[in-house]
Structure 1
Amino acid sequence: MLLLSRPLTPTCCSGPSRRLHTRYALRKAKGPFYPDFKARAIRLVKQQRSDYPSMTAVCRALGDELGVSRETLRNLARQADIDVGEAPGVTTGENEEIQRLREENKQLRESNEILKAAAVFFAGELDPRNR
């Protein structure tokens, strides 16, 4: 779903900056890209790598066509290379596992704090000096 943050035909300017306003207006709201968009973008980068002198040039050309920044496109392509084992790094699956374990760790720490506070409370209740 596209959210329009500005009108499609800005009245504030004309020329090249008008194109920037239009592109800005058509960008998807914050959040991850759709999986089919990612797959298409990565496929295009891989197909056209040999046509350009550098990865930056490929991402700049395709980024303008797709309406995303070259850095976003470069990051998507780099992560895809890592996921298939062509480049060193942490895969998407490993990243998700790390994130899940961190969340679980956080919940366990909170549970431990609650149990410690309960133990202190009940120890005070059982102490004969407090009667």
Structure 2
Amino acid sequence: MNKQNKQNKFSPEVRERSVRLVQEHRGEYPSLWAAVESIAPKIGCVPSTLLEWVKRSEINNGAREGLTSSERDRLKALERENRELRRANEILKTASAFFAQAELDRVLKK
């Protein structure tokens, strides 16, 4: 199973409801992890998955340090664009060198 399938096993609504459940009942447990461990089986996911959802929600809401989901998506897009531009630049450098050499050969044959 690839990462995309794992991410889509639970709908956004289920994730949001699960995170809200943890946040609403967090005070009833000695720690965030204890709350997550108690609630995760009721949702049908492993505690580490639910904990990631809670952390992601806290980051997106500004309650925890880190890049928001939209910032992460934008960063990934920029990194992808940067790779593509570097690749295109290398192709252009190679082509430029090829044509420069061809022109030099043509001039020297005269």
TM-score (norm 2): 0.85
Equivalence for 2:7: 31
Q: Sequence identity of aligned pairs in percent?
A: 33
Aligned mates of 1:31, 1:39 — CA distance in 2? 14
Aligned mates of 1:105, 1:114 — CA distance in 2? 14
Q: Structure 2: where are the runs of 5+ without partners?
A: none
Task: Indicate if the aligned counterparts of 1:63 and 1:69 stay in contact, CA closer than 8 A.
Answer: yes
1:129 aligned to 2:105?
A: no
Question: Which amino acid counterpart does residue 63 of structure 1 have in structure 2?
Answer: A
Task: Indicate if the aligned counterparts of 1:124 and 1:130 stay in contact, CA closer than 8 A.
Answer: no
Aligned mates of 2:61, 2:96 — CA distance in 1? 50
Displacement over 3 Å in runs of 4+: none
Pick the aligned partner of 2:73 from 96, 102, 115.
96
TM-score (norm 1): 0.72
- Within a 5 Å distance, the mapping from 1:95-114 to structure 2 comes to 95-114=72-91
How many residue pairs end up in the alignment? 104
Q: Structure 1: where are the runs of 5+ without partners?
A: 4-28
